[in-house]
Amino acid sequence: MKKTIEEHAARFDDHAGAYDEQQPENEEYRACVSLVIDHAAPEPSDTVLDLGTGTGAIGLSLAADAARVVGRDISDGMMDQAREKAAAHDIENVAFGTGTFREPNYDGPVDIVVSNFALHHLSDDEKRAAIKTIAALGPQRFVLGDVMFFDTPDPDEPYYDPEVDDPSTVGVLADALTDAGFSLTAVERIHEQVGVLVAERTTRSEE
């Protein structure tokens, strides 16, 4: 991680109020959100854990189809936006709280984990540790939308600022998921530097 958790949290706090207004301009981001939602596909009995939930775009979209959605983020400002949206739409089966990828601050049942545009702030080793933590929660499916490299990294292309971002190659992410006991079932390439990975397993973790 190139900046501390506190520095990242403060940066997102500063942008929380305008964050949702900025996203319609980003075609790749919107495509990523749509694909993460489509691949998550929760059943009515499922609990979904949304890591790096931000303003809750994905978690709130999944709430109608899931039994429960738990959102975790490091930014209080972003989660305040998520809570306001949940209240405005009378969505009651969601709960937002502070948590990170490596310390999600949640020990309840998890059927599906989703994350969008958040994991890329961690280094390769930190991502491996985060994916192991996620696997230990016992989900059957992990859907990751993020900045990731399908080709040679290019800071002049969108979604990659070397000062704050630390994306991995698709290969590194695939290996980390496999090592944690998942099978990669789908790879969606949205942009040379943006994609969605879907990882599943046929037996629930006993960890």
- Whole-Å CA distances, 202 to 29, 47, 130, 136: 30, 17, 21, 15
- Whole-Å CA distances, 200 to 16, 123, 135, 137: 32, 23, 10, 13
Residue 205 lies in a domain: no
φ, ψ (nearest 5 deg) of residue 68: -155, 145
Give the residue ranges of DSSP H helices in the chain. Answer: 5-22, 27-40, 57-62, 76-88, 124-136, 170-179
Whole-structure pTM value: 0.89
pLDDT digits (tens, 9 = 90+) for 4-63: 777 766 766 656 666 666 665 678 889 999 999 999 999 999 999 999 999 999 999 999
Residue 206 lies in a domain: no
Residue 144 lies in a domain: yes
**CB-based contact 166:174 (threshold 8 Å):** no
**CB-based contact 80:145 (threshold 8 Å):** no
Domain at 153, CATH number: 3.40.50.150
Give the residues across from 96 on adjacent strands: 71
Q: Using CA atoms, how far apart are residues 72 and 96, in angstroms rounded to an integer?
A: 6
- Dihedral, CA atoms, 49, 200, 117, 50, nearest 10 degrees? 0
How many domains does the chain fold into? Answer: 1
Collect the ranges in the chain with pLDDT lower than 50: 205-207
Per-residue pLDDT at 19: 60
Residue 55 lies in a domain: yes
Per-residue pLDDT at 163: 84
Residue 163 lies in a domain: yes
Over the range 49-71, which residues count as b (16 or more CB within 10 Å of their CB) and which as e?
Answer: bbbbbbbbbbbbbbbeebebbbb
Residue 207 lies in a domain: no
Give the residues across from 148 on adjacent strands: 168
Residue 10 lies in a domain: yes
Per-residue pLDDT at 164: 82
Domain that residue 193 falls in:
5-200
